[in-house]
Structure 1
Amino acid sequence: MNVIDLFAGAGGLSEGFRQEGFNVLAHVEMDIHASTTLKTREAYYYLKETNKIDIYKQYLRKEIDRDELYNHVPDYILDRVINKEVSDKTNPQIFKQIDEIVGDQHIDLIIGGPPCQAYSVAGRSRDPHGMKDDPRNYLYRQYIDFLRRYQPSYFVFENVIGLLSAGNGEIFKSIQNEMDSAGYDMDYRILNSNDFGVVQQRRRIIIIGWKKGIEFTYPEFTAPEANYTIRDLFQDLPSIKAGEEKKPGNGYKESANDFLGKTRIKPVDWDVLTQHIARPHRELDLEIYRYCVDIWNRERRKVRYNELPERLITHKNTNTFLDRFNVIPYEGISNTVVAHIAKDGHYYIHPDIEQNRSISVREAARIQSFPDDYYFETSRTSAFKQIGNAVPPLMARKIAEKIKSTLLN
């Protein structure tokens, strides 16, 4: 079950398919930090499959550097990651690299989602021209170019729900028409990651396409029976304060609960906690965090910016953007983790008033359902951005499971 992963990001979508046994032959990603994350993940899988996982753990514990880690991995494995922008200019070179990897193998599936800023409602509201002139509106055509060249049996195309309304709906109509002319039927749903067991509200459009002539119906997904919470998700992570990092190693404070094991967020026998690092904050922000958590604990309500004590209000605008600070509740689920988390953590305040900070990189990764053995290169800021842009692997895995059952029948 061979896969090409386009606009791969940090690899959340491909991770879910990989966990279901799909063979990801190539990832195409323009961002150098995300591409390095993908290479490190390829190294993880190779070393795990060759019983050399201790080398990967040495890297996580900073006992060896990245070059030394990669020296233990054959070039053909690392070369699966193609760090190039998808465009008319670069596609011939990308095709050539993929052709060398694929050889005479059939591609069963293409997965991926073009960058969503041009489709997002927030992105359109910030741009004076409503993103009408943004070339990213038409990256779906690049995706279709790959469909035409590799003729996969199926494809999965993920994006923000603003895709449906972008260009007054004309862009989505164009996608449907061009997919049709490329030889594919398609259907879509707006899916919420929480319905797949992810402890986060995250609504996205998932388009599934299949070659004309294949009998396929968009799958029905059943929500998990149990409703898990942030408390279940953070249960075994040690306390840290703002600006602190738990030194990479066996730093878990207790064994994992059933939820962490069942979802593979904490893989069986995994013992190296990494990237449990919290950003530093100004004293003013820390005071706001304490105030917001205190109000949440006592009154179970969120604090609007204009409700803060006067000494804590420094922005002149007290009429709009009043939900600037948000506590992630222990007894509930998280709001959507987005790439803006790389800029500040105000919308992701940790529920423990004693820790008094925004969430760590590892906590954000867990909210997105990435396993603890997943390492995000190359800095705290780039890690947050990659996590915020990703498809939750747990959601991707459930989609992969349905497609696999169709492919194998």
Structure 2
Amino acid sequence: MLRPIEYKLNRLARGERPRLLDLFSGCGGLTLGFQLAGCEIVGGVEFDEHASRSHALNFHHGLRPELFEAHAAPKDITVTGPHALLRSFGIKKPDHEVDILVGGPPCPAFTRVGRAKLREVHEHPEAFRHDPRAKLYLPYLEYVKELKPVALLMENVPDILNFGGHNLAEEVCEILEGLGYRCRYTLVNAANYGVPQMRERFILVAIHEAAGAYYSFPMPTRKVIFPSGYQGTRDVALKHIVLGDLFAPKTRYVPIVESKRKSRPPVTVGEAIADLPSITGHLDGTIRRGARRFDEAVAYRSDVTPSAYARLMRTWSGFKGDGQIWDHSIRSLSDRDYRLFRAMKCGDDYPKAYALAERLFTEHLAKEKRAGRHFEPGSPEYEELRSNYVPPYDPGKFPNKWRKMAPDEPARTLMAHLGKDSYSHIHYDSDQARVLSVREAARLQSFPDGFKFSGTMNPAFRQIGNAVPPLLANALAEPLLKELGVHAGAPVDIHDDSKAQVSAAG
């Protein structure tokens, strides 16, 4: 009997589609990108109940009810073994089923922001090392050991390369090499691959040595000038990686090589969302506070010609919408915020918004004084009026808390807490004076318009913010499938208006 790896390689050589399992799948950003490249989706493992149901809604909606619910149910990878998982999906021979394994273990403990928020840090500065979330790459490796995929991809935040002064990626590679895999890793930015968002990620790809192949990371297709903060983050992450030194420790890090051909400019926020309808109900009181359920549809704007990118989002085969948008919902904020959003300039951050608020407050006080009304500083009346104009956050501590997007640039990184605090992505249209909608956030992550999100607005925002952009996943998947001898379509990137429609395999 053939070993599982040999069995899978033979099956791929016969032209069968690679079968993919997504660990820590979220709603399915990696899954969608690999599906577009040609993979058949075995399933996903996800702890969050809404994200797990979203994954099932989008990739397993045609199954009979009991199997669909098996996919939709949340799963804890620390207690759910690979064989039990696949049997719950109706698979009788788990060892022979998974060709490609992908996933991104949750990253709070890897990020400097996340580490700072751990309660134990206040008592012990090295406590983040013991955060159990930082050990979730171990169950991932256990799945590799048990399922023996031909290839795998691991995604995470750049700080995994500098985890308390330790390069965790090298440790992972050592374990994988002991299991027979050839490993390479790098840092990529989604904006370099046609995603309208600057999102820096760590990517590790490994191929079993029996395949006789080596992975090459795709060259960027877009030329992007990144703000200094992104380069700073990259420099910190790469602090312990030394290249070009014969005496430096061995590293599997491979820097991305830019194409010598003239690269095209990045996809911008305006290209991504300008065709979506305006929202002004929060300004006239017709949109009220409360949970937002996706039960009201709106039409695309008829006065805006959709960009090639927007048409791709509308026409993604298998994820075409019904000509309407069901999740174009926003958070309700305060009149103070709407006033500031309207007055801010594109690119303004929180310190500039705070200074603007102080100026508007001072102007209002002068107007009140001319009308014969005086407010004594420090009085309850004065403080109440001030709170109606000036937000309470210290501009010295929260410089990135607010930002008004520019229509002619990619967006800054979308975060998982977008549902609770979406001031980091204020719409560029001052007449709308608002933050992003759920569908706009999905567009900036490159989710097609027919992709469904389970739950209400806040869970949907969290799923989007946690996801890997599908177009980035597709760019990474295509060369991997090519190395495995699988015919895959060219990675999706919009060159011109004639290439706005794509077909997902299967």
Say whether the fold is shared (TM-score over 0.5). Answer: yes
Corresponding residue of 1:228: 267
Cα distance, 1:380–1:351 mapped onto 2, change above 3 Å: same
Moved more, 130-139 or 184-193: 130-139
- Residues 251 and 272, structure 1, Cα contact 8 Å, conserved in 2: yes
Q: How does 1:91-102 map to 2 (within 5 A)?
A: 93-94=84-85, 96-97=87-88, 100=91
1:72-97 CA deviation, whole Å, 9 max, x = no partner?
Answer: 85543553445211115766643643
- From 274, 287, 301, the equivalent of 1:253 is 301
Corresponding residue of 1:405: 482
The 3-state SS of whatever aligns with 2:187 is strand
Residues in 2 aligned to 1:194 and 1:34: alpha-carbon distance in whole angstroms? 24
- Residues 215 and 479, structure 2, Cα contact 8 Å, conserved in 1: no
Corresponding residue of 2:217: 219
Paired residue type of 1:33: H
- Residues 213 and 484, structure 2, Cα contact 8 Å, conserved in 1: no
1:113-162 CA deviation, whole Å, 9 max, x = no partner?
Answer: 10011111211122224522201111111001000111111001000001
Residues in 1 aligned to 2:400 and 2:167: alpha-carbon distance in whole angstroms? 32
Paired residue type of 2:42: L
Corresponding residue of 1:373: 450
1:161-216 CA deviation, whole Å, 9 max, x = no partner?
Answer: 01111131153332122222222221111000001100000000010011124221
Corresponding residue of 2:261: none
Residues in 2 aligned to 1:152 and 1:131: alpha-carbon distance in whole angstroms? 31
Structure 1-normalised TM-score?
0.85
Answering whether residue 112 of structure 2 is matched by residue 126 of structure 1, we say no
Residues in 2 aligned to 1:104 and 1:171: alpha-carbon distance in whole angstroms? 28
Residues in 2 aligned to 1:108 and 1:223: alpha-carbon distance in whole angstroms? 28
Q: How does 1:170-319 map to 2 (within 5 A)?
A: 170-213=167-210, 214-224=212-222, 225-241=264-280, 243=282, 244=287, 248-249=296-297, 251-254=299-302, 256-261=306-311, 263-264=312-313, 266-267=315-316, 270=321, 271-292=323-344, 295-296=345-346, 301-302=348-349, 304=351, 306-310=354-358, 311=361, 312-315=389-392, 317-319=394-396
Residues in 2 aligned to 1:104 and 1:164: alpha-carbon distance in whole angstroms? 32
Moved more, 80-89 or 30-39: 80-89
Answering whether residue 23 of structure 2 is matched by residue 23 of structure 1, we say no
- Residues 201 and 334, structure 1, Cα contact 8 Å, conserved in 2: yes
Paired residue type of 1:161: P
- Residues 218 and 476, structure 2, Cα contact 8 Å, conserved in 1: no
Provide the aligned C-alpha RMSD in A.
Answer: 2.5
Moved more, 118-127 or 356-365: 118-127
Moved more, 332-341 or 248-257: 248-257
Moved more, 163-172 or 17-26: 163-172
The structure whose Rg is larger is 2
- Residues 29 and 81, structure 1, Cα contact 8 Å, conserved in 2: no
Moved more, 323-332 or 382-391: 323-332
Residues in 2 aligned to 1:218 and 1:101: alpha-carbon distance in whole angstroms? 34
The 3-state SS of whatever aligns with 1:358 is coil
For residue 40 of structure 1, report the CA deviation from its aligned partner: 1.3
For residue 401 of structure 1, report the CA deviation from its aligned partner: 1.3
The 3-state SS of whatever aligns with 2:207 is strand
For residue 408 of structure 1, report the CA deviation from its aligned partner: 2.2
1:260-302 CA deviation, whole Å, 9 max, x = no partner?
Answer: 23x445437641312001111111221221222xx33xxx654
- Residues 290 and 353, structure 1, Cα contact 8 Å, conserved in 2: yes
**Consecutive unaligned residues in structure 1, runs of 5 or more:** 47-71
Residues in 1 aligned to 2:41 and 2:93: alpha-carbon distance in whole angstroms? 10
Structure 2-normalised TM-score?
0.69
Answering whether residue 141 of structure 2 is matched by residue 149 of structure 1, we say no
Aligned residues: 377
Percent identity over paired residues? 27
For residue 316 of structure 1, report the CA deviation from its aligned partner: 6.1
Moved more, 399-408 or 26-35: 399-408
The 3-state SS of whatever aligns with 1:79 is helix
**Consecutive unaligned residues in structure 2, runs of 5 or more:** 1-17, 223-263, 362-388, 487-506
Residues in 2 aligned to 1:114 and 1:141: alpha-carbon distance in whole angstroms? 9
Cα distance, 1:249–1:400 mapped onto 2, change above 3 Å: same
Paired residue type of 2:77: V
